[in-house]
Structure 1
Amino acid sequence: MNVFKQLYTSIYSPKTISTFRFQGIGKTILYVFILSLLSTIPTGYHFSTGLSEGIKGFDQTLQNELPDFIIEDGLLSADTEKPIEIKVDDFIIILDESGAFGVEEIEAKQNAIGILSDRFVFSANGQAQSYEYSLLNMSITKQDLTEITSQFNQLLPIVLTILFVVMYLFGAFVKFIEVTFLALLGLAIKNSLQRKLNFKQVWVMAAYSTTLATVFFFIMDSLQVIVPSGFIINWFVHLIVIYLVLKEVPPIKKKIKEA
């Protein structure tokens, strides 16, 4: 059975998952990498789209709508008396030297770029990254930032590719940790059910047992639907599936002593 058919059957069939315990570890590792890719695609897509649209909108707004400003000695000085907030499509751009806005306020905007009093903040899908001006050790004007943004737009495809690869590798690392921890819990469950299995077999079944929750959150993330208590639901489903899978494994046969 190829890995894609395994993925499909692992969504609904604990009995089929139990038969995978005899397969090689290499194929299972490949399967975990595929699950990792599946869970990374929605986040990577929405983040890349948000970043791309934000940078393009920021470039246009920077040139045409924001007043002159300068970043010097780690602080912003702008030709305005109050914070400026401009909405470009689904993105918000904020210029604020007063300190009224912070990282949390920019993050709450979901998709936003903030040129704040002491730092630059970028938020995509509610995930913010901030960079303090003091790290620059140089002065930057509006014109300088315009040139930097234009150059960054040209490198954007390369930057997005690198970011996606990094996200995927991190996601794969987390998925392997998740599968290993589930396998450890599976050892305790198989002992209570009196199933004769080694750790390798339990690890293989644990990998396939994560399929249902992974596919569910793939769909939810693709639709940008926030699942309340997602972490708890994820592990609850994992435990239910691994339990059902281990129950499908034939129990240890007890030897009958001769009289």
Structure 2
Amino acid sequence: MNVFKQLITSIYSPKKISRFRFQGIGKTILFVFLLSLVSTIPTAYHFSSSLIQGINSFKVTLDNELPDFKISNGELTVDSDGPVEIRSGEFIIILDDTGSFGVEEIEAKTNAIGLLENQFVIAAEGQVQSTEYSMLNMTITKEELVDLTDQMDNLLPLIISILVLVMYLFGAFIKFIEITVLALFGLGIKNSLQKKINFKQTWIISAYSTTLATIFFVIMDSLQTVVPSGFLITWFVHIIVLYLAIKEIPTTKNKQS
């Protein structure tokens, strides 16, 4: 059975999940990367769409509504008496040289772009990226930034691709940790059920046991629906599926002498 069929099967069949324990670890690792890819797609899509929308909104707002400013020696100077906050579509543009706003405040707004005292921050669907002005090692005015954002249109596909790749690799790393922790729970389950399987087999079963909850949250993320207590629900489903899968393994009876 190929990994795509395994993906479908492991959503609904603990019995078949239990049978996957005999396959090689390489195929299971491939499955985990596939599952990580599937789980990344909704977040990557919404992040990319929001980022593109945010950059376009920023260009319009920057050119027409923001006061003059200058970034020099790693600091922002604004021709304004205080922070400037402008809503453009679903994005909020913030210009602040007073230190009133930080990364946390920008992140809390979900979709926002901040030219702050010492750094540039962009939050898209809760995903935050920040860059210190000191890394630029140059002086930038409002007019020069307008020209720079025009040039970014050509680089945006590359930037998005890199960010999505980073998101995928980070998601895969977290998924491997999640499966390993679940496999430790599996050791306790298999001992309580008196099933003779080793840690490798438990890890393989654990990998497939994460499918149901992962696919559920992929659907919820696609619909942009927040699930209360999502972490607890995820682990509850993981452990239940793992328990049912291990339970399907035949118990080896000791021969009576």
Counterpart position of 1:68: 68
Q: Quick check: 1:49 aligned with 2:59?
A: no
Structure 1 runs of 4+ aligned residues shifted over 4 Å read none
Question: Deviation digits for residues 189-222 of structure 1, max 9, x if unmatched?
Answer: 1122111112222121111100011111111111
Q: Which runs of 5+ in 1 are unaligned?
A: none
Task: Normalising by structure 1, report the TM-score.
Answer: 0.92
Helix, strand or coil at the partner of 2:225 = coil
Q: Secondary structure at the match of 1:100?
A: coil
In structure 1, the partner of 2:98 is: 98
Give the match's secondary structure for 1:11.
helix
In the aligned structure 2, how far is the partner of 1:107 from the partner of 1:172?
23
Once residues 31 and 132 of structure 1 are traced to their aligned partners in structure 2, the CA distance between those partners, rounded to angstroms, is 38
Tell me how far 1:79 sits from its aligned partner. Answer: 1.9
Aligned to 1:86: 86
Q: Which residue of 2 aligns with 1:234?
A: 234
Q: What secondary structure sits across from 1:114 in the alignment?
A: strand
SS at match of 2:189: helix
What is the CA distance between 1:71 and its match in structure 2?
A: 1.3
Distance 2:4 2:135 in 1: 47
Partner of 2:160: 160
Asked if 1:29 is matched to 2:29, the reply is yes
Which amino acid counterpart does residue 105 of structure 1 have in structure 2?
E
Alignment of 1:97-136 (within 5 A): 97-136=97-136
Q: SS state of the match for residue 204, structure 2?
A: helix
**What does residue range 244-255 of structure 1 map to in structure 2 within 5 Å?**
244-255=244-255
Question: What's the offset of the Cα at 1:154?
Answer: 0.9
**Residue equivalent to 2:143:** 143
What whole-Å deviation, never above 9, does each CA across 1:7-40 have from its counterpart, x for those lacking one? 2221121112111112222222221111000111
Q: Please, which runs of 5 or more residues in structure 2 have no aligned partner? A: none
Provide closer, same or farther for how the CA distance between residues 104 and 85 of structure 1 changes in structure 2, counting only shifts above 3 A: same
Alpha-carbon distance, 1:97 to partner: 2.4
CA distance in structure 2 between the partners assigned to 1:246 and 1:206 by the alignment = 9
Farther-moved stretch of structure 1 (12-21 vs 91-100): 91-100
* Contact 1:9 1:16 survives alignment (8 Å): yes
CA distance in 2, matches of 1:216, 1:91: 28
CA shift digits 1:125-172 (9 cap, x unpaired): 123333332333332111221222122221111111121122112211
Q: Is the 8 A contact 1:111 1:126 kept in 2?
A: yes
Alpha-carbon RMSD: 1.7
Aligned residues with identical type, % of pairs: 66
Aligned 8 A contact 1:121 1:131 in 2: yes
Distance in 1 between residues matched to 2:31 and 2:119, nearest whole Å? 42
Report if aligned partners of 1:97, 1:117 keep a CA contact under 8 Å in 2.
Answer: yes
The one-letter amino acid of 2:246's match is: L
Give SS of 2:255's match. Answer: coil
Equivalences, count: 257
Q: 1:56 touches 1:153 (CA, 8 Å); kept in 2?
A: no
Alpha-carbon offset, residue 235 of structure 1? 1.5
Distance between the aligned counterparts of 1:179 and 1:79, measured in 2? Answer: 53
Does the aligned pair in 2 maintain the 1:57–1:88 contact within 8 Å?
A: yes
Q: What is the DSSP-based 3-state SS (H/G/I as helix, E as strand, rest coil) of the residue aligned with 1:28? A: helix
Q: Which amino acid in the other structure matches residue 134 of structure 2?
A: S
